[in-house]
Amino acid sequence: MTLQVLDLFSGIGGFSLGLERAGMTTAAFCEIEPFCRAVLAKHWPGVPIYDDVRTLTAEQLAADGISVDVICGGFPCQDISVAGKGAGLAGERSGLWRDYARLIGEIRPRFVIVENVAALLWRGFGDVLGDLAALGYDAEWHCIPASALGAPHRRDRLWIVAYAGSGRRGRWERRATALQGQEPVLNGSSPPLANASGEGLSAPECHPLLAEGGRQEGRAITERSGWSLEPHVGRVAHGVPARVDRLRALGNAVVPQIPELIGRAILQAEARHAA
């Protein structure tokens, strides 16, 4: 039995593509943009697509016969990004994290995978981790750039993997609060990390690319990735609107190779636990 994934803020399906390559199965999507929903329907025919995270509930998913083991998603970054006004989680768009957290509490998945820009480290990181801890989830995190898996651009992003834990906050909560205001990690190194139990985690434990098995997985994924330059908008009238939609969707998408690497790490941990 494979892990069933609920893909929130799905975009064009980068998260699901990577997790399915790792061996998971997409149970449902939730995406508000019509263009992206059309892309998802084309590539995942038969997989339900909900249109608004604010109205989606565990009760609705259960009524539709959808079970969930993993919730993944990169919630909107506009209020967090350094290119925005810095409203953080109080902003209208990035504030949708609250509905993400609500669904985690309602569904109680085994794993949660969160993606956002590195600026989340000082614009709401403590709140995100605090919400996860309050729900009883431990968390591990790291900034991983797309270039770490061979992409011709950096695209540095913060990745958080949470799993059901003790729910104790203590030293962890103080550590999360202390992280507010720190600069993002951009060079592949990291300060000591911590989970909801207050136990320190070294970088090799948190960053799969730094562990020997993770390096091997990363090399395998990189070697078979056919990276190409992103398409440009031609200076012609015909077809430009669709081209703009495509470029915006690509710009908002996650690089599938990183969710694949994370998904493989989760499944390997599950296999070790089962053994």
Write out the catalytic residue numbers. 77
Sequence-distant (≥ 6) Cβ neighbours of residue 154 within 8 angstroms: 145, 146, 147
Give yes or no for a contact between 155 and 147, defined as CB atoms under 8 angstroms apart: yes
Q: Residue 223 corresponds to which tokens in the numbers above?
A: 């070697």
Bridge pairing between strands 25-30 and 4-8: parallel
Integer CA distances (angstroms), 263 to 21, 23, 181, in order: 8, 8, 30
Compute the distance between CA of residue 185 and CA of residue 188 in angstroms, rounded to an integer.
7
CA nearest neighbour of 14 among 46, 36, 47: 36
Q: Residue 231 corresponds to which tokens in the numbers above?
A: 């398409």
Compute the distance between CA of residue 272 and CA of residue 266 in angstroms, rounded to an integer.
10
* 8: helix, strand or coil: strand
Compute the distance between CA of residue 215 and CA of residue 227 in angstroms, rounded to an integer.
19
Give yes or no for a contact between 96 and 54, defined as CB atoms under 8 angstroms apart: yes
* Residue 116 one-letter amino acid: N
* Residue 23 one-letter amino acid: G
